[in-house]
C-alpha cells in the first residue's frame, strides 16, 4: 500500500459533528491520544445546521416514560426498547452538561414538535440550536489535547487477517480536483461519526459533504449495516424551482408554534388526515404532502406562518426568516413554498449505544450508526441528543478500555471507481425510485441503473470521485434494503405492499461486491456484541 504519511493514535475519530467531537473529548479526558479527522473545517456536517433543538423530558408535566413511548410510537415497531430507555434517561443530564460548558440553551420555554405529546424541545437562539451546540463543542475541542486534522478524508478501514479494525487509510484534500495525498492512521480503535447520506437525493437538508462515506467504509470492510431502507424525508424544506443539493430547512417547530401547511387554494393539507393534524409524525405529514403534490400535478405546497406575526418570526425563527428573505420570500406576509426532502438516515452501521459494531475495533456513533433508538422513523429532535450521548459513551468506553493494536493491516479490495460525472443522475434515480413513495418495480429499475453505472477511467483519487463512490454504495444498499422490505412501516412506504408485517430489523453485509441480507428480531435487552 503506497502511503505519503503516517499517524499513530490510541483512537482515531472520523467526523467533527456532535457525535465525533463528543467521542474524541471523552476518550481524551481519560488521557488517550486521540486523532480526529474531518473532511472540511471542524463541523461541516448537519450538527451546526440543526434548528428545532434537542429532546429531553425536563418539563414539569413530562417524564422519561412519556418521551420513551413517543419515541417508540414514531419508530413504528422497530425501536430497540433498551436503547430508547437509555437515551431518554441520559438526555436531561446531557443538556445539563452542555449548560455547564456554557451553552445558552432555552430550558424553560420548551418547544413542541411532531410526534411529541409534551413540550420537550430544548433550543437556542430561537431556531439556531445546532450552531450553539457546535460553538460549545468546537471550543471544548480547541481547548483539548485532541489532534485535529481538518481537510482530511477517511477512505478505508485497515483490518488484520481476522477482520479486526486497526486504523484507516485517509487522504489529505488539496485544491479542487487535485488527487488526494493518501496516508495511514494506525489506531487501537476507529470511531466512524461521519453523519448520514442525504446527498444521495436531489434535494436534502444535509450539507455537501454528507455523502455516506462512513457507511461505505464500514460496508467495504464487511461490518453489519442495519435498517438502511428507513430514510426520513422532512416535510418542509424551502422549495425553489430547479434547486438541487442542500436546501434550507423550514423547522417543524414553526408548525409547533401554529404554522399550517396549505395548498394553492389556501386550504389546510393535513385537515382530516391525522388526529394530530400538522403535528402528525413526520412520515405521515411527508407522505400526505407527496400524495397531494402528485395528485394536484404541482411540485410544492406552502407553509403559512403569517399568523405568528413579525415579532415571533424574527425573534424565535431568525434562521428560517433570514433564509426565506434571502430568496425574496417574506414569511411575515406570505406563505413559504415548501416540499419534502431527504433529511435523516434512520439506519446505518449497526451499533450499540456505546458505539460497538459487529467488527472488533470499529465503533460508530451519531447519524452514521443505527443503534435502534430511531426504529423505522426518528422522532423529531432525538438525533442531536443521541449524537451527544452515543459519542460520549463510546469515547468514555475507549478511555477505560482499548483493544490491542492490530498488526499486518490491510485495506479491503476495491471495485472500479465511479466518475463524479454520474452524481446528478444517481441522485435523480434515488429520488425517483427510493423517495417517499416506493414500489418493487421502481426499486428494481433503480438497482438496474445503479448496477449499470460505467466504471471511472479517471486516474488518481479525488474528493469528488471518493464521494461519488460513497453515494453509489449507499444508494445500492438503500435500494437493496428497500426492495427486500415488502411492507410499509414508518418512513419506508411501499405502494405495492401497503400493510405492515412482523417487526424485524434488516441487516446487510457487503461481501466482495455482493450484498447479503438477513433479518434480526427486536431485542428487549442488550445491544449487539
For ligand SIN, the binding residues (CB under 6 A) are 51-52, 249, 251-253, 380-381, 383
DSSP code of residue 359 = S
126, 318 contact by CB (below 8 A): yes
Look at phi and psi of residue 355 and say left if phi exceeds 0, alpha if psi is from -120 to 50, else beta. left
Binding residue (CB under 6 A) for ligand FAD from 45, 348, 355, 442: 45
Which residue in the list 120, 220, 282, 489 is annotated as catalytic? Answer: 282
**Cα 238 to Cα 250: distance, rounded to the nearest angstrom:** 6
Nearest to ligand FAD of 321, 488 (CB atom): 321
* Total residues at interface with ligand FAD (CB under 6 A): 44
Binding residue (CB under 6 A) for ligand FAD from 9, 13, 14, 476: 14
User: Is position 282 annotated as part of the catalytic site?
Assistant: yes
Residue whose cell numbers read 493514535: 9
- In the complex, the smallest distance separating the C-beta of residue 340 from ligand SIN, rounded to whole angstroms, is 12
Kindly write down the DSSP assignment for every residue of 126-185, as one continuous string: TT-HHHHHHHHHHHHHHTSS-EEEETEEEEEEEE-TTS-EEEEEEEE--STTPPPEEEEE
Binding piece for ligand FAD, criterion CB under 6 A, among 90-98, 159-167, 346-354, 383-391:
383-391
Binding piece for ligand FAD, criterion CB under 6 A, among 52-60, 403-411, 486-494, 514-522:
52-60
Report the partner that residue 252 touches, choosing among ligand FAD, ligand SIN, none (CB closer than 5 to 8 A by kind).
Answer: ligand SIN
Report the partner that residue 16 touches, choosing among ligand SIN, ligand FAD, none (CB closer than 5 to 8 A by kind).
Answer: ligand FAD
The CA distances from residue 387 to 44, 269, 426, in Å, are 15, 33, 28
Which is it for strands 54-55 and 348-350: parallel, antiparallel or unpaired? unpaired
Nearest to ligand FAD of 139, 271 (CB atom): 139
160, 409 contact by CB (below 8 A): yes
Secondary structure of the chain: what % helix, strand, coil (to 5)?
35, 25, 40
Binding residue (CB under 6 A) for ligand FAD from 7, 11, 12, 16: 16
Look at phi and psi of residue 115 and say left if phi exceeds 0, alpha if psi is from -120 to 50, else beta. left
**Cα 472 to Cα 419: distance, rounded to the nearest angstrom:** 10
Which one, of 331, 430, 371, 358, lies nearest residue 84 by Cα? Answer: 371
Binding residue (CB under 6 A) for ligand FAD from 52, 75, 360, 417: 52
Nearest to ligand SIN of 170, 380 (CB atom): 380
Report the partner that residue 468 touches, choosing among ligand SIN, ligand FAD, none (CB closer than 5 to 8 A by kind).
Answer: none
Active site residues: 282
Residues found near ligand FAD in the complex (CB under 6 A) = 14-20, 37-40, 43-47, 49-54, 129-130, 153-154, 193-195, 205-206, 209-210, 213, 249, 344, 366-368, 381-384, 387
Amino acid at each position: 500500500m503506497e502511503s505519503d504519511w503516517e499517524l499513530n493514535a490510541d483512537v482515531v475519530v472520523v467526523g467533527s459533528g456532535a457525535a465525533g467531537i463528543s467521542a474524541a473529548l471523552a476518550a481524551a479526558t481519560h488521557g488517550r491520544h486521540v486523532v480526529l479527522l474531518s473532511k472540511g473545517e471542524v463541523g461541516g456536517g448537519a450538527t451546526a445546521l440543526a434548528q428545532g433543538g434537542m429532546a429531553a423530558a425536563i418539563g414539569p408535566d413530562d417524564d422519561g416514560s412519556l418521551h420513551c413511548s413517543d419515541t417508540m410510537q414514531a419508530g413504528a415497531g422497530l425501536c430497540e426498547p433498551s436503547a430508547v430507555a437509555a437515551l431518554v434517561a441520559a438526555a436531561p443530564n446531557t443538556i445539563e452538561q452542555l449548560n455547564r460548558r456554557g451553552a445558552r440553551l432555552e430550558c424553560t420555554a420548551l418547544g413542541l414538535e411532531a410526534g411529541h405529546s409534551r413540550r420537550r424541545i430544548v433550543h437556542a437562539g430561537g431556531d439556531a440550536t445546532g450552531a450553539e451546540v457546535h460553538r460549545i463543542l468546537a471550543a471544548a475541542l480547541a481547548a483539548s489535547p485532541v489532534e485535529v486534522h481538518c481537510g482530511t478524508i477517511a477512505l478505508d478501514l485497515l483490518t488484520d487477517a481476522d477482520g479486526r479494525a486497526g486504523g484507516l487509510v485517509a487522504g489529505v484534500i488539496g485544491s479542487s480536483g487535485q488527487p488526494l495525498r493518501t496516508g495511514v492512521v494506525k489506531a487501537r480503535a476507529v470511531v466512524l461519526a461521519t453523519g448520514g447520506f442525504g446527498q444521495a437525493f436531489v434535494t436534502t437538508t444535509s450539507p455537501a459533504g454528507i455523502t455516506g462515506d462512513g457507511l461505505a467504509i464500514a460496508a467495504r470492510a464487511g461490518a453489519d449495516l442495519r435498517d438502511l431502507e428507513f430514510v426520513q424525508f422532512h416535510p418542509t424544506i424551502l422549495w425553489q424551482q430547479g434547486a438541487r443539493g442542500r436546501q434550507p430547512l423550514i423547522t417543524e417547530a414553526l408548525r409547533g408554534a401554529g404554522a399550517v401547511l396549505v395548498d394553492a387554494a389556501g386550504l389546510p393539507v393535513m385537515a382530516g388526515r391525522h388526529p394530530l393534524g400538522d403535528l402528525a409524525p413526520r412520515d405521515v405529514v411527508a407522505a400526505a404532502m407527496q400524495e397531494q403534490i402528485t395528485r394536484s400535478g404541482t411540485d410544492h405546497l406552502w407553509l403559512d406562518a403569517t399568523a405568528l406575526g413579525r415579532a415571533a418570526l424574527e425573534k424565535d425563527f431568525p434562521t428560517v426568516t433570514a433564509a426565506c428573505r434571502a430568496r425574496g420570500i417574506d414569511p411575515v406576509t406570505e406563505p413559504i413554498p415548501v416540499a419534502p426532502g431527504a433529511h435523516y438516515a434512520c439506519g446505518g452501521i449497526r451499533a450499540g449505544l456505546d458505539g460497538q459494531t459487529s467488527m472488533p475495533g470499529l465503533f460508530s456513533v451519531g447519524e452514521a450508526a443505527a443503534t435502534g433508538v430511531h426504529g423505522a422513523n426518528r422522532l423529531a429532535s432525538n438525533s442531536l441528543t443521541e449524537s451527544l450521548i452515543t459519542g460520549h459513551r463510546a469515547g468514555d468506553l475507549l478511555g477505560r478500555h482499548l483493544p490491542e493494536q492490530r498488526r499486518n493491516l490491510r485495506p479491503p479490495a476495491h471495485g472500479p471507481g465511479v466518475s463524479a460525472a454520474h452524481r446528478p443522475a444517481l441522485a435523480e434515480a434515488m429520488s425517483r425510485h427510493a423517495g417517499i413513495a416506493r414500489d418493487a418495480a421502481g426499486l428494481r429499475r433503480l438497482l438496474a441503473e445503479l448496477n449499470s453505472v460505467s466504471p471511472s477511467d479517471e486516474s488518481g483519487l479525488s474528493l469528488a470521485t471518493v464521494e461519488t463512490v460513497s453515494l453509489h454504495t449507499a444508494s445500492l444498499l438503500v435500494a437493496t434494503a428497500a426492495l427486500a422490505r415488502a411492507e410499509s412501516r414508518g418512513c419506508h412506504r411501499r405502494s405495492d405492499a401497503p400493510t405492515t408485517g412482523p417487526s424485524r430489523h434488516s441487516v446487510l453485509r457487503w461481501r466482495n461486491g455482493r450484498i447479503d441480507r438477513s433479518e434480526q428480531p427486536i431485542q428487549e435487552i442488550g445491544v449487539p456484541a
